[in-house]
Amino acid sequence: MINICNIERFATHDGPGIRTVVFFQGCPLRCPWCANPESQIIQAHLLYDHKKCVGCQVCEQHCPTKAIQFTDHRFTWDRSLCIHCKACEQACLHHAISFAGEQRSIDDIMEEIRKDKDYYRSSHGGVTISGGEAFMQFPQLMELLKKLKEEDLHVTIETCGQFPSEYLEQAYPYIDLFYFDIKHVDDDIYRSTVKGNRKQVQRNMEYLTRKDPDKIVFRVPVIPGFNYDDKTLNAIIDLAKQHHVKEVHFLPYHTLGKVKYEKMLQDYTWSPTMMKEEELEKYKPYALSQGITLKIGG
């Protein structure tokens, strides 16, 4: 069984052609701007929509572990008590409660994936594994990768690169394309902001570029207040060139994930202002001069 957050069909921005994306649960990083915060922990997370809630408290009555309580008419959820029975979700007639994350068998996931095989074939598309960070569930990931290759499907993986290098060696033969996050070039800023170890990311990136630089694309979430400055972004382009990577994607900062924080009863701490794609056009000439194809928005 794999803990997944979602399976998205007809995804058009996560690799070549028409794709199905399998979003794994669980991530080692804690980027404060994360657009999929519900996928950070491996277990399912309750999402509460206060706009739909009518305050009837039926969910509280149906919760067998008292994980849900209304205090001062305010909905609260205690994750440590929740057993994910989803009685609350079923009890709510107003669709105010849902859960992000479920366990699904690999066969079940494969069945879903197969449904669009004709579309992958005609468009040279395939399957993208995303998250979260799929390497967090490494044994399950391997099992899924093998199944995908048995069926000769093109596999792209979107990864932050934060996992042991031996995992990468094992998974490498089953993956056709890596969308590899390069969030920053500075170890300290990386550690203090996203709570990760950039050296490990660097090692994995170097492994991949040594093997075949054409199978890796750098993906850079451009985040104001973190990496949105000429020095950092040009340095990432330089890094690509240094490792013979030919394609880099700058993904402009957006706040589309903000509503999820509200539903998770958490505060969103990063900037409320979205970036426009055009803002990043200015990096294209430099990238071009370095022989790098820079795409804005992926």
Partner 1 sequence: MARINIDGEQNVEVSKPVPSEKTPQQQLAIMEAYTEAHKNSAHLDKAQREINCLKTIFPVLFRSIGEDDLIAGRLDFLPIGFGSVTSIGGVGHYCVFHKLRAFKEQLTTEEEKARVDALYDYWQEHDVKSIYCQDVLNDTTTGRFIDCNYPFMATARLSGMMLNYKKLMKYGINGLIELINRQGDNAFLTSSAEALALLKTVIDRQIELVEEKLTTAQGQRQKDLQLMKDDLAVIREDVPHTFHQALQLFWIYALCAGVINYGRMDDVLGPYLKDDIDAGRIDEEEAYRYLKSLWKMIENRRTTVNGRIIVGGKGREHAEAADLFARICLRVCKDTRYVEPQFTLRFSSDTPQDIMDMAYDCIGSGATYPTLYNDDVNIPAVEYAMRVDQKTAQQYVPFGCGEFVIQGQSVGTPNTMLNLLKIFDMTLHEGADSFDGIKKNGPVHVKPLSEFHTFDDLYEQYKKLLDYYFDISVQAQSYSYEVMNKEVSFLFTSILMDDCITRKKALLDGGVKILGGTNETYGNINTSDALYAIKTLVYEQKKYTLEQLVEAADHDFAGYEYIQKDLLDAPKYGNDHTACDELANDLYEFVAKGIRQRGIDAGMGYYLIVISNNQTNTDWGHKTAASLDGRKSGLYMNPANNPQGGAAKSGPTAVLNSLSRFDAKYHGGSVQNIKFTPRMFQKDREKIKYLFQTYFAKGGCQLMVTVVDHGILEDAQKHPENYPDLIVRVAGYSAVFVNLTKDIQEELMSRELYD
> What residues line the site for partner 1 (CB under 8 A)?
8-10, 12, 17-18, 90, 93, 115-116, 118-119, 121-123, 125
CB of 7 vs partner 1, minimal distance in Å: 9
Measured CA to CA in angstroms, residue 240 lies from 98, 208, 221, 247 at distances of: 41, 12, 15, 8
Nearer to partner 1, 26 or 125 (CB): 125
Nearer to partner 1, 41 or 56 (CB): 56
Nearer to partner 1, 43 or 123 (CB): 123
Structure-block tokens of residue 121 = 């074939």
CB of 44 vs partner 1, minimal distance in Å: 18
Measured CA to CA in angstroms, residue 56 lies from 23, 76, 94 at distances of: 33, 14, 10
How many whole angstroms separate alpha carbon 287 and alpha carbon 280?
A: 11
CB of 188 vs partner 1, minimal distance in Å: 38
Q: What is the DSSP string of 136-155?
A: GGHHHHHHHHHHHHHTT--E
Nearer to partner 1, 199 or 276 (CB): 276
Nearer to partner 1, 8 or 279 (CB): 8
The DSSP symbol for 112 reads: H
Nearer to partner 1, 119 or 138 (CB): 119
CB of 115 vs partner 1, minimal distance in Å: 5
CB of 154 vs partner 1, minimal distance in Å: 14
Measured CA to CA in angstroms, residue 115 lies from 109, 121, 143, 289, 296 at distances of: 10, 12, 19, 43, 31
Nearer to partner 1, 114 or 210 (CB): 114
CB of 173 vs partner 1, minimal distance in Å: 28
Q: b/e map of 41-57 (b: 16 or more CB within 10 Å)?
A: bbebbbbbbeeebeeee
Pairing mode, strands 102-104 and 2-11: antiparallel
Q: How far is CA 75 from the centre of its chain?
A: 28
The DSSP symbol for 186 reads: -
CB of 278 vs partner 1, minimal distance in Å: 14
